[in-house]
Amino acid sequence: MDNLDLKKRELILYWRSAFNFSEDVFLAFVKVPRENFISPELRDLAYNDAPLPTSEHQTISQPTTVMMMLNFLDIRKDSKILEIGCGSGYNAALISVIAEKGRIVTCEIVESLAEKAKKNLVDYKNVEVIYGDGAQIAGEKGPFDRIIFTAAIPKVPEELFGLLNDGGIILAPVGELYLQEMTRVKKIGVKAGEGFTTEELGEFVFVPMRGEWGFK
């Protein structure tokens, strides 16, 4: 077993002892090689529990954070999912494995990152990568069962409530520029505009969202 495999196993053992992640989420982590989504010179760090740089001052999130978010998102096998903030494509690959019968739209506002993510995700057939601002793409491609933000936003955009199917979930780091609360909004299936619950799931720090819904 090489060093990467050992470190990957160590992470899994740590999560098994400290977190109650679902088996689907564990299985996706086992299947998707994080080392394929980072630059080759960082390969040895692929399974350190740390964020890593992509390009353009953006990051691929820390594995524990990624796993917590996937668990919070409660993805079904047939979910239709929007990810805002594709970055390297790693998170989209994990989602693609969990929602094996679903569809994933993931968007990225930095063109060079979107192009790289398209290549990284070529074998994940249920994923569509789109270059552009998530604020536009959400309206064009919705409605969705799940919407996940991997960049920080000042508030959950109201336009999204109408783009969520009954039983749907929005998950986003919401708050100030340098500290956010992981926020989960659930639509509980009555008339649109009513029947939403909001939960706060702990403090995190994410890169800021740009574009229409970002920080002014």
Residue numbers annotated as active site: 61
Nearest to 174 by CA among 199, 146, 195, 153: 153
Q: How far is the CB of 110 from ligand SAH (least distance, A)?
A: 4
* Residues in touch with ligand SAH (CB under 6 A): 58-61, 84-88, 90-91, 107-110, 113, 133-135, 150-151, 207, 209-211, 214
Nearer to ligand SAH, 168 or 173 (CB): 173
Smallest gap from residue 193 Cβ to ligand SAH (A): 25
Instruction: Please check whether residue 127 is in contact with residue 116, taking contact to mean a CB–CB distance below 8 angstroms.
Output: no
Decide whether 40 or 193 has the Cβ nearer to ligand SAH: 40
User: Any residues with CB less than 8 A from the CB of 171 and at least 6 apart, and which?
Assistant: 69, 72, 73, 146, 147, 148, 149, 182, 183, 184, 185
Task: Give the integer Cα–Cα distance in Å for 48 and 45.
Answer: 5
- The smaller minimum CB distance to ligand SAH, of residues 143 and 208, is found at 208
Q: How far apart are CA 104 and CA 28, in angstroms?
A: 15
CB of 187 to ligand SAH, least distance (A): 22
Going by C-alpha positions, the residue among 2, 30, 3 that lies closest to residue 16 is 30
Which CB, 24 or 133, lies closer to ligand SAH?
133
- Spatial CB neighbours of 189, under 8 Å, sequence gap ≥ 6: 166, 167, 195
